């Protein structure tokens, strides 16, 4: 009986998460591998919710970092692996990792237009060329 109760609670949580996702205005998929992002340039509108889904097609864990950006309502879902989430748990403003072969989703609202550098914070990856650009355009 106890297990049934827990399962029902989990299901309720999942349903809630899906309902939240459907409000995303901009949804994009980004592929990660050794060593880059595809696409490397991501354009999103300011002031609206963005949902980026990362698919790691590489053999090792990668992440997505943007620092020095004004964002709100940051959350992460999926196979984020051993390190780092967004928001208060990260040293960076946006930070989500994705396990090898995994998928993870980063939700945020960018508040100001501008061009922001993207990089992978796994040691040596930025130097190997794992960088990109997040372009936030005003409405």
Owner of token pair 């963005």: 50
Smallest distance, Cu ion to C-beta of residue 123, A: 9
Q: Residue 44 is encoded by which pair of tokens?
A: 């999103």
| Smaller CB separation from Cu ion, 31 or 46 | 31
Smallest distance, Cu ion to C-beta of residue 115, A: 21
| Smaller CB separation from Cu ion, 74 or 125 | 125
CA 28 – CA 33 distance, rounded (Å): 17
Smallest distance, Cu ion to C-beta of residue 120, A: 3
**DSSP characters over 75-95:** EEEE--TTS--SGGGSSSSEE
Please choose, from the candidates 47, 48, 30, the residue with its C-alpha nearest in 3D space to the C-alpha of residue 39.
Answer: 30
**Binding residues vs Cu ion (CB under 5 A):** 62, 120, 122, 125, 130
| Smaller CB separation from Cu ion, 30 or 120 | 120
Smallest distance, Cu ion to C-beta of residue 126, A: 8
What contacts 123, CB < 8 A, 6 or more positions away? none
| Smaller CB separation from Cu ion, 46 or 122 | 122
């Amino acid at each position: 009986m106890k297990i049934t109760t827990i399962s029902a609670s989990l299901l309720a949580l999942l349903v809630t998460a899906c309902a939240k996702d459907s409000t995303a205005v901009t949804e994009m998929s980004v592929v990660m591998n050794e060593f880059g992002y595809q696409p490397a340039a991501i354009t999103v509108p300011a002031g609206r919710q963005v949902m980026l889904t990362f698919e790691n097609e590489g053999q090792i864990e990668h992440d997505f970092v943007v620092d020095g950006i004004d964002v709100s309502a940051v959350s992460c879902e999926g196979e984020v692996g051993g390190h780092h989430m967004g928001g208060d748990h990260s040293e960076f403003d946006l930070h989500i990792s994705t396990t090898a072969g995994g998928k993870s989703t980063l939700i945020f609202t960018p508040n100001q237009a501008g061009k922001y550098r993207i990089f992978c914070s796994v040691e040596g990856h930025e130097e190997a060329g794992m960088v990109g650009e997040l372009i936030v355009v005003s409405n």
